[in-house]
Amino acid sequence: MCQKAKREKVRLQRAPEEPAREERVRKFVPSREEEQKKCVPKKVDLEIILDVSTSREDVFEGQRQLAMALVERLPIESDHIAIGITSFTREPKLLRRLQTATDRREILDLLRHIEYRGGSTLTARAIGAALQDLHQNRRKDAEGIIVLMNDGFSQDPWSHVLKAAKAIENANVKRFGVALGAEADLRELSLYIGAPERLYRDATRNRFLEDMLHEIGQGCPNEEPEKPTPRPNPCEPEQLDVAFVFDNSVNSTISSERTVNGNKFLLLDILGSLVGITGIRASLISTATPSVVADFSEILERNRLFVAAKNIPAVQNVADYHKAVTFALKELRKNARKSSRKALIVVGPGSLTEGPINVDIPSEITRYAVDSSDKSSIRSLEMLTGARKNVFEFDRNAEFEKALLKLALPTSRMCKELLMKNFEPTIHLSKKAIPDAEETTKKTTTSASTTRSTEKPTTTARTTTIKLRLSTTSRSSAAISMLDVDEQRIENSTHFVSGCLLDVLVVLDASGSVVETFMREKQLVSDILNTLRIGPNNARVAVVKFAAEGKVRRVWGFDDVQQKTAILRALHSTPFSSGTTAAHSALQRAISEYSSARGARPGRATPIAIVFTDGFAQKSIGSEAAQLQRLIPNTFAVAINQNQRINRDVLETIAGSRSRVFTDEDIQRFLDTLAAHANDCRP
């Protein structure tokens, strides 16, 4: 018995030690039990949504190749993977209903033949279509995954974005987003995808494929794959509660009423600037007999706050800032969330006040004061906020927007850098380098962008050489050569037809108060341009976008390539800016754009100016409007108001006549009026 025990001991000593579980996984060495198990990937219902709109033209092929690379790597066998595919522009197109994928070549062939269509971008509709397909065809025992390939620049009304984001969040699916290209609006994408670590850019394509395969369960044949180490989320929403104290007190002077109205527009711009940043709640408090105009509401509930702000009445009395701020502090203590950061923002001049002005405000509460009038009492507002740097009179309104954004974003430095970088994306690569607003008065030198041809009619193709000056953020000349050649080829093949000598100047309001109508502005402009015969010897187009003074930009110039596809692509990829409304700066920029040096044709072509805005201007625009009207008598003001309040007085000042002011109710009349000026411009 002892000899048998010794032999068994020797045998055990000689037996190779079985690797630890972690070592087996690393070396893919299965245990005896695992050798007998058959590896079965999890069942997955995968919906792929591909944006094929105008803004995706440069990266369309990259999106397609990435989708094909994913399909190449999927375990296409049996009934494990079901795939549905949707492409979209303005309307979604279901290319493949959700069904099991057993033929890899069939799916790859479908992806290979998806066509780039161009056009506007309504992402919310596409998400709705994919969710409907998933709802109708999803298997009960399968995990749902949605992959959205899109840059976040949609023309959806913001309410539609929020509704679609809520629907996809409630659909019990894993969400992945791919935004290829130099520009992306991460605010909209983050609502759809949820977690920033599942948003992938050009440099992280391989990580996208790896993460997808890990999620699906395509690891070693006999072992569930190790889950990737969770990446810290630098943009985890942080709670912020803001109490706005609005001075709605007026005396008998007209100027005080104008101050209240101007600050009301400023407040709307501020609220619009915060839309899209999660975790923020705001309350509105009036100074006149201090009272709550709107209790703490999520900033995403924009309509409720906007209606409350617009309906704040002007009251004949003297403001008591001490009492109003003290009241606001009580509201913060009572109704703000315990774990939130807190801020108190006074919107008013601080000049009409009674009683003591200083208030003991806890240091943990951020304090700012902002005013759009030229009568700010700096001293009073400084006493309220504790420091001169916290007071933003009219000349510093643009600085206030930056301070507000810095306050609103999560405190993580990495997240601030990420979102600030994408808050106002750089100029699109296909456009020339555009001077900043402050450079508009400098003399512009034109490189040989277009060799001027005679105005005499011809039916032969032009041989003009088109050279584009690229922005500093553009790709190398080799990388963009195909884009330039394509544009040149299209333009050079256009036959010139006499007539249609128009210079069309479009000015787009992208400030905070028009957050829901900006996309409709762009769509209407797109519809107008599609009715024109655009070319260097026919209709020329220039587009200016504006918000705050530091956010006045030329989207397209008269001396840029006058080719419809290129202009529409630039228009559709133009992002919303948010911020205050520097209409005076926008008109100054429009005036500088309409010159021979910048490609316009004064005295030869009929000029038309179309200014899209709601009329909320911080500063008097009388002199700028008069100058624009002298240059361009056919100046129109259009308010896409969606039943929201507009300032007709300012709109009439811009247009120079009530008959040239149009709103949602009479858009058709506007189009008919415009058509009368362009009756020989049909493409």
* Three-state SS at 85: strand
Determine the pLDDT at residue 414.
53
The whole model's pTM is what?
Answer: 0.47
pLDDT digits (tens, 9 = 90+) for 9-27: 544 454 444 444 444 444 4
Under the banding of pLDDT at 50, 70 and 90, the label for residue 655 is: very high
Among residues 364, 437, 363, 368, the alpha carbon closest in space to that of 403 is found at 368
Q: What is the pLDDT of residue 481?
A: 28
Could you tell me which residues are beta bridge partners of residue 534? 539
Q: What pLDDT digit, counting tens, does each position of 376-388 carry?
A: 888 888 888 889 9
Of residues 428 and 615, more confidence is placed in 615
116 compared with 30, residue with greater pLDDT: 116
pLDDT at 129: 94
- For residues 120-148, give the mean pLDDT: 92
Query: Is 40's pLDDT higher than 60?
Result: no
- The residue that leads in pLDDT, 417 or 270, is 270
Helix (H) or strand (E) holding 514: none
Q: What is the pLDDT of residues 214-248, one digit of tens each?
A: 888 754 343 444 444 445 555 555 788 999 999 98
Strands (E), 257-359: 280-286, 291-298, 315-316, 341-347
- What token pair was written down for 215? 């999620």
Question: What pLDDT shows up at residue 312?
Answer: 85
pLDDT recorded at residue 511: 82
Instruction: Note the pLDDT of residue 631.
Output: 94
Cα of 536 vs its chain's centroid, Å: 31
pLDDT in tens, 328-354: 999 998 988 888 889 999 998 887 555
Q: Assign 3-class secondary structure to 352-398.
A: CECCCCCCCCCCCEEEEEECCCCCCCHHHHHHHHCCHHHEECHHHHH
DSSP-assigned letter for residue 438 = G
- What letter represents residue 192's amino acid? Y
**Is residue 346 within 8 Å of residue 325, measured between CB atoms?**
yes
The DSSP secondary-structure symbol of 429 reads T
Q: Could you tell me the pLDDT band of residue 593, with boundaries at 50, 70 and 90?
A: very high
Instruction: Enumerate residues 6+ apart whose C-beta is below 8 A from 652.
Output: 637, 658, 661
User: Which range among 158-162, 321-325, 540-544, 589-593 shows the weakest confidence by mean pLDDT?
Assistant: 158-162
Task: Round to whole Å and give the CA distance between 507 and 514.
Answer: 14
| Per-chain mean pLDDT for the chain | 75
- Answer whether residue 551 shows pLDDT above 60: yes
Mean pLDDT of 526-543: 89
Which tens digits make up the pLDDT trace of 400-441?
877 887 787 765 555 555 554 444 433 232 333 333 333 333
Higher-confidence residue: 306 or 357?
306
CA dihedral (517, 652, 558, 498) in degrees, to 10, reads 110
pLDDT score at 610 = 96
Spatial distance between the Cα atoms of 337 and 240, rounded to a whole number of angstroms: 8
